[in-house]
Structure 1
Amino acid sequence: MKGPQEQYTDELKKNFGFIATWLPGTPFLLGDIGILNDNVFTRVASLEDFHIQFDIREDDTADDLDYSSKGSVSVTTKFSGKASPQGSVLGDADAGFIVEFGHENAVLFKAKQTRTNLIKDTIKLGESVLQLYRDGKWNKNWVIITELVKAESATILISNSVNGKIELKASANIDAAKLDIADAKFEFASVFSKGMDTQIVSSQGLTPLFKVKGIKTRIFLPPIFKQRGLSTLDLFTPETAKGEHKDQLYFDYISDDVRE
């Protein structure tokens, strides 16, 4: 059975086409360099450390992102002045949400006012990276965050049991006609939870999704090499990358930690 990290990153990748930040509250920046392992990015440096400058293409439009595990998440909105559902700890005067999970590792993800910024010229960036590798100054397994989603605020909940539940109470703007579980202005606080693994509630400034680029090769090995945990890149060294195999390396998107 998948754990919460694997389930979360797999589901969000399938839905949005981006790698999901794990742990979800970890802050990242464009140009961060790291290792991608089981869809978990571990930062080791930044392009600034290699004196590589880049321009950013900023997203002019903001979008709300909403995802929940199919058939596994129930969200009940509780408005102020309305009777509380049976068994809820929320009072009649309270406003908030009741979120119930029907499966272990079920996910609720909602991000408000997200913008996807990216590094403008990744062709030039790739040339710089390949040259650094040929000079013996770059780890061929490193990847770079070249696209990054930043949310004004977001709520991310993951259960760890088949009957996970959390109740959130709004501390401000409780008379608002429309409640948004991801909106920080409502100042939600957890007043009850059980069977929960991850609770990030209306947190601001998260970078929940990203894409990376790194060194890849046009040479393919038989599947048995993958079964042994080997890739074609394992056959390369900075010296071979300068010689006959120079044109067999290129810089492109890396979707996971398994590369040719």
Structure 2
Amino acid sequence: MTEAVFYSISGASNMAPIPSRCCWMETVLMSAEGYAELVKATTGYLGAYPLVVPISVGDYLQLNAEGVLVHLGNVFNWPGWTDDVLVDTTPIGGSETYFAGCTRETSVDSSAGVKSPLGLGAEATVSLIFEKENGFVLAYEAATRQKVREVPDVQRKIIQLARDGQWQKEWFLVTEVISAESATLAVSTSSGSKVSLHANAQLPKGLSAIQIADPKLGWTASSWGGSGFSSVCKAGTPLYHCIRVRKGWFNSLLSDTLGPQDMEDAFAVDDPFFDV
């Protein structure tokens, strides 16, 4: 078996910088499961946590005891998968922002900085105030959706692998991802927490909405009031879908989609092969 990679500890060399271990590890252990549930209810997708985790279509993953994703490998490295399974790639225009348990306050300083001849105007601060533990804000832009074209075919393949003893009951197979060139995530780990995002570039005059994932605005985050985790304008995989195998009637093997249709809990502590 390929060597497991704990995303909370290590990852690809091109990953965005990871925040200091003392706060980041504590936040992951406190909020991974709660964050995924919030995101699923809000977006219909599972939320990758922390945002800097790189997830690809075809990855098979496992959750450790703390609810942190463990990367085991990718099925497209197995014989026949690249030829048999087609993956569609679609660019996503514009930007998206999702939130739950959070309010947003924006203040603009029209006198800050020196105005450029290009007509740039004010600088801004966006304050994110969380009413409860595990509130979140997720924004991204310049995104790409990659999706397995025929998920039922893949479900049949992993069911056969499970019958042959080559697919473990704890594994999840990623069938769709939304990856972004720039994404901003803030997650609270205690109620009443607050973090402020500061634009270090002046905003265009007449801008109707301030996009907190726009890297051209030079966003930085302040220290938290309370406790939480933030990742600002980093490349990553904010959202994904996956499937798993479980036992149905008469021990028949079934495949569940963990996404907008069959909203089964990806962080369930019960046995994915349970009898129903």
TM range (shorter): 0.7 to 0.9
Match of 2:57? Answer: 30
Q: Structure 1's 106 and 131: CA in aligned 2 closer, same or farther, altered over 3 A?
A: closer
Question: Is residue 2:51 matched to residue 1:21?
Answer: no
Q: Is the 8 A contact 1:19 1:39 kept in 2?
A: no
Q: Structure 1's 60 and 114: CA in aligned 2 closer, same or farther, altered over 3 A?
A: closer
**2:238 paired residue among 186, 189, 208:** 208
Partners of 2:239 and 2:183 in 1: CA distance:
12
Match of 1:105? Answer: 134
1:157 match: secondary structure: strand
Match of 2:13? Answer: none
Give the CA RMSD over aligned residues.
Answer: 2.9
Deviations 1:122-158 (A, max 9, x none): 3332333233333332223322100111223221112
Q: Which runs of 5+ in 1 are unaligned?
A: 84-92, 221-244
Higher radius of gyration, 1 or 2: 1
Question: Is residue 2:74 matched to residue 1:46?
Answer: yes
**1:65 paired residue among 84, 96, 99:** 96
Partners of 1:122 and 1:160 in 2: CA distance:
35
Deviations 1:49-85 (A, max 9, x none): 3222132122354363322224xx23222224169xx
Q: Is the 8 A contact 2:91 2:143 kept in 1?
A: no
TM-score normalised per structure 2: 0.69
Match of 1:141? Answer: 170
1:117 CA drift (Å): 2.0
Partners of 2:178 and 2:43 in 1: CA distance:
11
Q: Name segments (4+ residues, structure 1) moved above 6 Å.
A: none
Deviations 1:195-233 (A, max 9, x none): 2311111223x211111112233227xxxxxxxxxxxxx
TM-score normalised per structure 1: 0.73
Deviations 1:2-39 (A, max 9, x none): 94323311111111121111222211000001124687
Match of 1:161? Answer: 190
1:194 match: secondary structure: coil
Partners of 2:63 and 2:213 in 1: CA distance:
28
Q: Mapping of 1:1-260 within 5 angstroms? A: 3-36=30-63, 40-51=68-79, 52-53=81-82, 54-62=85-93, 64-70=95-101, 73-81=102-110, 94-178=123-207, 179-204=210-235, 206-219=236-249, 248-254=252-258, 255=264, 256=266, 257=268, 258=270, 259=272, 260=274
Partners of 1:138 and 1:105 in 2: CA distance:
33
Residue-pair matches, total: 222
Q: Structure 1's 67 and 253: CA in aligned 2 closer, same or farther, altered over 3 A?
A: same
Q: Which runs of 5+ in 2 are unaligned?
A: 1-28, 113-121, 259-263
Q: Is the 8 A contact 1:115 1:149 kept in 2?
A: yes
